[in-house]
Amino acid sequence: MADTQNSRKAKHEALLIIDVQNDFCPGGSLAVSEGDMIIPVVNAIAPDFAIVVATKDWHPKGHVSFASRHGKAPFETTELSHGHQVLWPEHCIQGEPGASLHPELDQRPVTMVLHKGANRELDSYSAFLENDHATPTGLEGYLRTHGISRVFICGLATDVCVKFSALDAVKCGFETYLIEDACRGVDIPEGSVDSALHDMTEAGVRCIGSSDLRHLLGV
């Protein structure tokens, strides 16, 4: 039975679950409104994929993206050597509970957990590249090794790490899909989620609902 179930899983597609961590869910230090509401959807679709990658922000204390390091308020901005930086509340600190994947997220289908943003001096929104747009996380190589040609992206937040992961997936040459009902956004400033969806669509990302998956995957 196990072999039969595995044979029905999508072979050339991967699911990327972006940053479904405690600090990004209600009660966390950088909570996304209704962030935990996507978890049942993610849990329902993940078993259809043979390759499932869950990413985690994994910041050291005093990370360059933290407003407290710069003596500024959260959501102010600053200029760094590699570009413009939004400053965030302290979040997803290595080894602390806020950095853990949400306990309701079923991790059994996950084949790899990818840690990003671990460099104290460099943030990482994208699952593929650090924010200098040059330092790879290793995800592209992992997917290529497993013969992946299409990626389906869900998680938190639509207008930050989900967006940049999707844009970089397209740049890496993957056919890229955003599962809209399995994402939630920060929407600061207001309208940033709509702007992110527009940017992704313009770049070639295809926006779908979870109900479309079975047909697209052929499982």
Residues facing residue 152 across a β-bridge: 15, 177
Q: Which of 161, 163, 168, 183 does the annotation list as catalytic? A: 161
pLDDT digits (tens, 9 = 90+) for 90-146: 999 999 999 999 999 999 999 999 999 999 999 999 999 999 999 999 999 999 999
Q: What SS3 state is found at 171?
A: helix
Active site residue 19: yes
Distances (CA, A) of 187 to 4, 159, 199, 203: 42, 7, 14, 20
| Bond prior to 14 in cis (omega within 30° of 0) | no
| 123 within 8 A of 131, measured Cβ to Cβ | yes
State pLDDT tens for residues 148-182: 999 999 999 999 999 999 999 999 999 999 999 99
Q: Which CATH architecture has domain 10-61+94-217?
A: 3-Layer(aba) Sandwich (3.40)
DSSP-assigned letters across all residues of 84-126: EEE-B-S--BTTSGGGSBPTTS--TT--EEEEE--STT----S
159 part of the active site: no
Is residue 116 part of the annotated active site? The answer reads yes
Query: Distance of alpha carbon 139 from its chain centroid, rounded?
Result: 12
DSSP at 127: S
Q: What is the pLDDT of residues 48-105, one digit of tens each?
A: 999 999 999 999 999 999 999 999 998 899 998 888 888 999 999 999 999 999 999 9
- Structural domain boundaries in the chain: 10-61+94-217
The token duo for 201 is: 């669509």
Per annotation, catalytic residue among 116, 123, 163, 168: 116
